[in-house]
Chains A and B, each alone.
Chain A
């Protein structure tokens, strides 16, 4: 455990080396918020509320949703697919395999440190900007506890999914299309752009069985108090189930990937 904590700290430290990059990213997420909020303002066109499968959604709810969605993205974004691809392409993976570490855990700690750095230097400014310009709906206290749990689970889920997709690089050298496919699916089904409550009923039901909405739509809808306590519990249970399932899947694919590498020499 100590090792992973140390990795976490060092990753935070090394993120500090890229100040300009951080500033550029902050600016681009501010633009992201501007675009999304403008779209929602235009869609609502003066209406205070819209009907949805989760009841009436006010424009303030929706603006909060868009801002929080950008914040969640800052938290989870890890470029794992690209990172693993580079490791395979450059052969750096060999250096990782001759160390007594579990690469998935190692990289998880690393992306954790990076995420914390972004929380301090990007997420807080973005949140402050959103709160001042649009006004964010404050959550009810019990909702907030569930939200925090959901959010953390969502981070783990996203990491597992992206790592598994990244492992595809062990078989196919070029993995930028894995990357774009994954992001496309994420954008469509996670609710990062359009909340599932605006999806047609059947589609919404199907998609909620998948792990993707558990990363964005799940936590944010909890924050906005759109779920009953029972629904929140089901949501968290589903997250744990998916985490367990994906962790097993990751382990299985990792075993195969290493085997492939050690036999064919990458």
Chain B
């Protein structure tokens, strides 16, 4: 145990005493996520604001004053110009270029048609390839549908409607809010845990082989298993630092990201116990990931080879994260919780949606510990293999 601690401290010191490594492996992920998500949120917000505040340039023909008045009551910002059919082609070109947002042509007899119960046709020209034009179309089309409903109601009273629809919302607001996190976070967390471990794992083992420093360690009277445990534990702690930094970055920036598009995510819906569960799952997951990366790094001859061999596992873990992204709900099948990493993804969702099953939690933690024990056993065997350790 003393040797495990000595190796743990040395591996830990190696990273923590290297300012560049601390910055790139631990601080940068969180900082980059915060800046990136906040920037994206702000960009989405600016875009949304830009579109909604845009003055719609609309050419009209025969537009009834009543409709113009109706549109004025809507929260839109239109400017109407008279249409001249002799300039039709030029106007189409302007719509194509995005200089004009829309052309609406009413029939000359539109108002009479409405009064005489004749179905009248409104022709709209717009360009869905231009954001202002598309937004103008959606807003004006909605307004015209509303106006049609007003006319229908005038004509037929309540009998205009075949039925009305009322709904009573029954939901756990916290759980619903948690689902927002549950859809976004598991994939990101697994991704950051993996990339955190990837940034230091190959260097610690494959790097030592490549630089020839592993042999210096192997000729000390320390059991190979102690070397394996010491390295895995220190890499796990550092990876946890990296993942925590990423996690804080995500939690702080998600409200910024979603507020841009009008959404709200409150990070304070979770209590201490939720964070403890989450921390336990993250630690178990990081142990499995570090164990896997350590085994691959011990097998590889160089850092480059180790990184190449780790990549497929990185993609698989990302795919596992993505696979649950759209449901936002944890699986109820217990066997899922015996599967490495996938169990963590589901458990993270369960925690975030306040739907945690203690049995599933215990299975996730226990099986992760079994997996990391297996990885340490394999690592120990690899350290004992002269062919693996000293192959050229």
Q: Do A and B come from one complex?
A: no
